């Protein structure tokens, strides 16, 4: 039997920003050590359909792209597949050239075939030289007349270790328009639907998906495959836990594919992730990459890991991310040819085998933040790795216009990170985590951001109360955190009304050259800066004129912790550009919160071994299917 591992695809939308992800221009040149596009012959007019594209006479187009290259190293490392067949259908006179790369991005030609008329070319390829990395792809060069790529597939005759379709679990809160878009794309993608058992839309909002005008049409197209499940807002962890719970009832489902709501999908990616999950040598979590929905060629992370010492997430090669494929495509970026192994994958799109759910359990009742990272750590302890799979991706609303470290989500950032460390850190007393947490408090306090510090302290108190608080406040922690904002005037965003807010000393301008230099204090200078500002905020009340009117103004990108603290007050642009926040030094709050921070972190450090044992003992119940079913029943 022949199994299709990957199909050649072109964009669903007529969007020129998407083309670099699917088809590569003919010529690139290196100028000032950067790849620059010289001739672009892959344009919308030559895309003839989902699997068809015209190659202009005398021109060359490469399919060595993010969505159309074959990630050979991942298939070699994580599966037992060792023989793959590439089949290319063409019309017209052309040359098909097959290439491979190694982990350093060095290109090597594997095979060449001259074709004419209606032609099918097959290339048998061995997956035995890709342990460090590498892709396989093909180029097509048209002769004196235009040629057409009619389609291409990557197949194997090898049987997968496991079968079963996937149930999709889309968790949504008041984003019905995005959900309708996702459902429509699925309804129009029979290749993906063949591998989908059920589509569960876990609707936790009051703007219901099934109340949208387009819903009857898409529901009719999907038929019994679609199922709407409504429940109160239990956050991402509650929505995804419900999708897992519903999937466990489906004997036809071998996987659950988790999807965020504010996304646009590439249906072929869903199909690829399921197939890769079927072929993985052991049950494996298959994660998708995330492109920016508002800047379509920009990839935000290739592989995400957790650093043990501060117990903090980051992306590998963070200094090179996000990567803009319109500026440098796959063939021009050696780093993207390495096999990069992940510790976890975000749940914007993530395939989890049912075996993993049965051995690992469901998510923590964390509401949002860290539920995906903690789950992958827990799954890895039971023998289930996580793979962030190249060529598997979607477009998600990015964090460019957000700053969730200082809004109500600060509570969940702090609590869930420390809980995850209590559960999984092997470092004595969390290593440097608590020192890092204390440092975050100091930065916020010196920047006159008292609200996130209040939330972080609430999180520490809840952690100290024991693991039972997590399920007890699952539905109430978020509204309580948002309600607390009323006590902190700096949380008010002063919208632009035509009468601009002003500061006494005007806006602090940092030129492009200055922005390009990291001017943060380091070493002894850092210690002196921190100590002097900690003392200054303790001793000095703000001058009355700086309370009546902000002393200075900063753009969001310039309002860093080493610039703002030297002033009594500051006007700072909101992350989304919708207005400004006013930060004012409050000596009483600062003193109280600084002492609270010292006491709470000291207590947490002292009690770390005891708390770690409590949370680890409670983990099986916190993440159990039965406990979540009780939560769902009580939330009705």
> DSSP letters along 10-32, please?
--SS--GGGGGGT-B-SEEEEET
Residue 368 to residues 237, 421, 510, 636, Cα–Cα distance (Å): 6, 16, 35, 20
* Distance from the Cα of residue 190 to its chain's centroid: 26
Strand 34-39 to 27-31 pairing: antiparallel
Residue 145 carries which DSSP code? Answer: S
| 584: region left, alpha or beta (phi > 0 left; psi from -120 to 50 alpha) | beta
User: Over pLDDT 70: what percentage of the chain?
Assistant: 94
* C-alpha to C-alpha distance for 421 and 456, rounded to whole angstroms: 16
* C-alpha to C-alpha distance for 81 and 72, rounded to whole angstroms: 10
pLDDT over threshold 60, residue 516: no
pLDDT over threshold 60, residue 517: no
User: Over pLDDT 90: what percentage of the chain?
Assistant: 76
pLDDT over threshold 80, residue 26: no
pLDDT confidence bin for 397, thresholds 50/70/90 = confident
pLDDT over threshold 80, residue 191: yes
| pLDDT tens per residue, range 586-624 | 999 999 999 999 999 999 999 999 999 999 999 999 999
pLDDT over threshold 90, residue 571: no
Q: Which residues are catalytic?
A: 372
390-411 average pLDDT score: 87
The residue count for the chain = 636
The pLDDT assigned to 25 comes to: 67
* C-alpha to C-alpha distance for 403 and 2, rounded to whole angstroms: 48
pLDDT over threshold 80, residue 564: yes
The pLDDT assigned to 89 comes to: 98
The pLDDT assigned to 38 comes to: 46
535-545 average pLDDT score: 89
DSSP H/E element including 98 = strand 94-101
| pLDDT tens per residue, range 49-59 | 999 999 999 88
The pLDDT assigned to 523 comes to: 82
pLDDT over threshold 70, residue 511: no
* C-alpha to C-alpha distance for 66 and 331, rounded to whole angstroms: 9
Check: CB of residue 135 under 8 Å from CB of residue 71: yes
Neighbours of 499 (CB within 10 A): 6
pLDDT over threshold 50, residue 39: no
Structure tokens at 377: 């750590």
pLDDT confidence bin for 509, thresholds 50/70/90 = low
Strands (E), 215-326: 226-230, 253-259, 263-265, 285-292, 295-301, 304-307, 312-315, 323-324
**By CB neighbour count within 10 A (0-12 exposed, 13-18 middle, 19+ buried), where does 130 fall?**
buried
| pLDDT tens per residue, range 151-167 | 999 999 999 999 999 99
pLDDT over threshold 70, residue 29: no
Check: CB of residue 579 under 8 Å from CB of residue 572: no
CA-CA-CA-CA dihedral for 261, 47, 329, 141, to nearest 10: 150
Three-state DSSP at 623 gives coil
Mean confidence (pLDDT) of the chain: 92
| pLDDT tens per residue, range 319-341 | 898 999 988 889 889 999 999 99
DSSP H/E element including 395 = strand 386-396
Residue given tokens 């991942």 in the structure block: 74
* C-alpha to C-alpha distance for 569 and 543, rounded to whole angstroms: 9
Residue 296 carries which DSSP code? Answer: E
CA angle 411–413–414, rounded 5-degree value: 70
CA angle 460–472–402, rounded 5-degree value: 60
pLDDT over threshold 70, residue 518: no
400-408 average pLDDT score: 79
CA angle 9–348–203, rounded 5-degree value: 110
Check: CB of residue 504 under 8 Å from CB of residue 547: no
373 HSE (CA, 13 A, CB side):
24
Check: CB of residue 489 under 8 Å from CB of residue 583: no
Task: Find, among 142, 206, 215, the residue nearest to 177 by Cα.
Answer: 215
Check: CB of residue 74 under 8 Å from CB of residue 286: no
| pLDDT tens per residue, range 339-363 | 999 999 999 999 999 999 999 999 9
| pLDDT tens per residue, range 215-247 | 999 999 999 999 999 999 999 999 999 999 999
Stretch among 173-187, 426-440, 520-534 having the lowest mean pLDDT: 520-534
Task: Find, among 266, 267, 270, 244, the residue nearest to 353 by Cα.
Answer: 244
Residue ranges of domains in the chain, CATH in brackets: 3-156 (3.90.550.60), 165-303+341-396 (3.90.550.60), 410-589 (no CATH)
């Amino acid at each position: 039997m022949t199994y299709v591992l990957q199909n050649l695809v072109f964009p669903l939308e007529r969007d020129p920003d998407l083309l670099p992800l699917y088809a590569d221009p003919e010529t690139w040149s290196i100028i000032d050590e950067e790849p620059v596009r010289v001739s672009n012959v892959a344009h919308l007019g030559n895309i003839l359909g989902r699997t068809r594209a015209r190659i202009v006479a005398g021109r060359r187009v490469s399919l060595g792209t993010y969505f159309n290259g074959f990630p050979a190293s991942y298939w070699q490392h994580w599966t037992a597949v060792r023989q793959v067949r590439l089949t290319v259908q063409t019309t017209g006179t052309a040359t098909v050239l097959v290439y491979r790369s190694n982990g350093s991005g060095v290109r090597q030609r594997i095979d060449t075939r001259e074709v004419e008329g209606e032609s099918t070319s097959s290339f048998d390829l061995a997956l035995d030289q890709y342990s460090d990395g590498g892709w396989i792809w093909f180029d097509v060069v048209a002769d004196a007349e235009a040629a057409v790529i009619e389609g291409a597939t990557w197949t194997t005759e090898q049987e997968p270790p496991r079968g079963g379709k996937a149930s999709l679990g889309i968790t949504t809160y008041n984003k019905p328009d995005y959900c309708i878009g996702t459902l429509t794309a699925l309804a129009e993608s029979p290749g993906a639907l063949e591998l989908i058992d059920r589509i569960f839309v876990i609707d936790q909002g009051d703007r219901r998906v099934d109340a949208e005008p387009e819903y009857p049409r898409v529901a009719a197209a999907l038929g019994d495959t679609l199922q709407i499940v409504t429940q109160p807002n239990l956050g991402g962890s509650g929505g995804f836990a419900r999708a897992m719970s519903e999937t466990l009832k489906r004997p036809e489902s071998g996987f659950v594919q988790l999807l965020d709501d504010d996304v646009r999908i590439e249906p072929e990616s869903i199909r690829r992730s399921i197939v890769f999950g079927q072929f993985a040598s052991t049950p494996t979590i298959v994660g998708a990459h995330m492109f920016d929905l508002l800047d379509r060629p920009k990839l935000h992370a290739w592989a995400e890991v957790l650093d043990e010492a501060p117990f903090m997430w980051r992306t590998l090669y963070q200094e090179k991310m996000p990567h803009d494929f319109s500026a440098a495509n796959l063939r021009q970026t050696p780093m993207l040819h390495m096999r990069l192994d992940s510790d976890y994958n975000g749940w914007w799109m993530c395939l989890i085998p049912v075996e993993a759910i049965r051995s690992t359990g469901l998510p923590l009742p964390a509401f949002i933040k860290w539920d995906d990272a903690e789950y992958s750590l827990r799954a890895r302890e039971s023998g289930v790795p996580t793979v962030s799979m190249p060529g598997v991706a979607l477009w998600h609303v990015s964090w460019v216009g957000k700053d969730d470290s200082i809004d109500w989500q600060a509570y969940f950032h702090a609590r869930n990170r420390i809980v995850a460390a209590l559960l999984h850190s092997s470092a004595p007393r969390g290593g440097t985590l608590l020192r890092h947490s204390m440092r975050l408090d100091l930065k916020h306090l010196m920047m006159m951001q008292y609200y996130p510090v209040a939330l972080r302290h609430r999180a520490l108190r809840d952690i100290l109360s024991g693991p039972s608080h997590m399920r007890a406040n699952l539905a109430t922690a978020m509204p309580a955190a948002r309600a607390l904002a009323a006590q902190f005037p700096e949380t008010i965003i002063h919208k632009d009304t035509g009468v601009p807010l002003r500061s006494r000393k005007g806006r602090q301008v940092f030129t492009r050259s200055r922005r390009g230099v990291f001017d943060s204090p380091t070493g002894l200078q850092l210690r002196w800066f921190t100590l002097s500002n900690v003392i200054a905020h303790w001793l000095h009340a703000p001058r009355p004129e700086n309370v009546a009117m902000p002393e200075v103004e900063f753009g969001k990108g310039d309002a860093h912790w080493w610039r703002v603290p030297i002033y009594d007050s500051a006007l700072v642009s909101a992350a989304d550009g919708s207005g400004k926040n006013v930060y004012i030094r409050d000596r009483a709050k600062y003193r109280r919160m600084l002492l609270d921070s010292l006491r709470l972190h000291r207590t947490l450090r002292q009690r770390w071994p005891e708390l770690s044992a409590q949370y680890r003992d409670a983990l099986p119940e916190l993440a159990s299917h039965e406990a979540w079913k009780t939560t769902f029943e009580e939330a009705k």
